[in-house]
Amino acid sequence: MYNKLTILGRQSALSLAELEALLGDHNVCSHGAHVALVNDAGTPLTHATIGGTIKIGEVIGSYPTQDFRSLLPYITTWLDTYTKDLPEGKLKIGISLYGLKGQPRAIGAFGLEIKRHLKSQGKSVRLVPNTTSDLSSAQVFHNHLANELGVEFLIASDGKETVIARTTSVQDINNYSRRDYHRPRRDAFVGMLPPKLAQIMLNLAQAEKGSTVLDPFCGTGVVLMEATLRGCQVIGSDISQKMIDYTEENLKWLSEVYETPSTIVSLGAADAQSASWATPIDHAVCETYLGRPLSILPRREDLEKIRSECDSLVSHFLTNLLPQLGAQSRCTIAVPAWKKEKGFIHLPVIDQLEKIGYNRHSFSHANYTDMIYSREDQLVARELLVLTKR
């Protein structure tokens, strides 16, 4: 039933929620830490638009063992068929284990047995050495292991079944850093939304090609860039004209570098609490004002002031947005949550969503507490609210 095995990002529950939004609950199944089995036959997954999945592999088979070495006969049999019609050239082989015990040296020895088998068939092979039990996306990418003449075996156990898959695609780290670090305009003060997170947010909102995406807090335009790349029409606004200029410049750069047509419906300065946008709006996807950047948690009264300012802004914005959304609109709104010793301090408006007129979507594979994107070094996290009209 599941045709693909996926290796998930750092916040794996959030990645599962993204897969669930894309493929439907019944087509996603967690398979141990940071791994999921999915059925993407109806909607093929592509690394061009998915943010939370590091590797995607085609399932070869599933076996009731916890000893990866016992899988050698299955792997060699599969390779015999795979290599039959390959073009001339050196075959590169890599091995990654998930949820299984295996020191790099033991994996290396296993790889040598695979190599020996292929050599006995007259094939020329290079083994990509492991320094840890799994190869990084950079190793897969740079060694071309997801190409025709490359094979990375993903061997993943959930404690009962071990699935073998062959990597068919891997996150393109160079492309992400091009959009993240080499776009003309960045602004450390308004914050740096990682392009991967913008993709996750667009997928949680189910923003498909041809639909219209509004970002009313567009800042430097990261959400609108990712929306443009997937073929959405975009509407952007921000209270600051400087940010509108930055977004315009970044979108222009994007359309030149990625040769994508510009899909801007409108872009202009406006207060999100009172703006009227061009309609119809299929999705609002944004991170609201997150309060000022913090390096240490301020005194209680000061944090309360920041929280109440953000709360009022989000509450007014959501009220203003509601009548401008289409009946089927689905939105992803990132709002601030502040890290405390244990857990997070949330915005009070989250408990008022129904009253304002929204349903908060819940996912089978992630709790609300999993829907917080947070980094070790940051005090202000982003809480993701996936909303529909009530």
The structure tokens listed for 338 are: 């502040």
226 binds ligand SAM (CB under 6 A): no
Q: Pick from 3, 240, 320, 374 the residue near ligand SAM by CB under 6 A.
A: 240
Residue 208 burial by Cβ neighbours in a 10 Å radius (0-12, 13-18, 19+) = middle
Cis peptide bond N-terminal to 280, omega within 30: yes
238 binds ligand SAM (CB under 6 A): yes
Number of residues written out for the chain: 390
Element containing residue 29 per DSSP (H, E):
strand 28-30
Residue 300 in 3-state DSSP? helix
Closest CB to ligand SAM: residue number: 219
The structure tokens listed for 28 are: 């996603």
- Minimal distance, residue 281 CB to ligand SAM, in Å: 15
271 binds ligand SAM (CB under 6 A): yes
Between residue 26 and residue 55, which ones bind ligand SAM under the rule CB under 6 A?
none
- Pick the stretch among 91-99, 165-173, 284-292, 340-348 that binds ligand SAM (CB under 6 A): 284-292
- Report the chain's terminal Cα–Cα distance, integer Å: 34
233 binds ligand SAM (CB under 6 A): no
- Minimal distance, residue 384 CB to ligand SAM, in Å: 13
Rounded distance between C-alpha atoms, residue 124 and residue 116, angstroms: 10
191 binds ligand SAM (CB under 6 A): yes
C-beta of 189 vs 376, nearer to ligand SAM: 189
List the one residue out of 15, 22, 26, 108 whose CA is nearest residue 54.
15
Rounded distance between C-alpha atoms, residue 211 and residue 352, angstroms: 28
Q: Pick from 2, 68, 217, 373 the residue near ligand SAM by CB under 6 A.
A: 217
C-beta of 3 vs 240, nearer to ligand SAM: 240
CA distances from 35 to 112, 132, 346 (A): 26, 17, 29
- Pick the stretch among 97-105, 135-143, 153-161, 232-240 that binds ligand SAM (CB under 6 A): 232-240
289 binds ligand SAM (CB under 6 A): yes
Number of shown-chain residues binding ligand SAM (CB under 6 A):
21
Q: Pick from 79, 145, 190, 321 the residue near ligand SAM by CB under 6 A.
A: 190
- Minimal distance, residue 187 CB to ligand SAM, in Å: 6
Give every CB contact of residue 100 below 8 A, 6+ residues apart in sequence.
66, 68, 133, 155, 156, 157, 162
Between residue 102 and residue 161, which ones bind ligand SAM under the rule CB under 6 A?
none
C-beta of 99 vs 219, nearer to ligand SAM: 219
Rounded distance between C-alpha atoms, residue 383 and residue 336, angstroms: 6
Q: What DSSP character marks residue 353?
A: H
201 binds ligand SAM (CB under 6 A): no
Rounded to the nearest angstrom, the gap between the alpha carbon of residue 171 and the centroid of all alpha carbons in its chain is: 10
- Minimal distance, residue 43 CB to ligand SAM, in Å: 26
Please give the residue ranges that form the binding site for ligand SAM (CB under 6 A).
190-191, 193, 216-217, 219-223, 238-240, 243, 271-273, 287, 289-290, 313
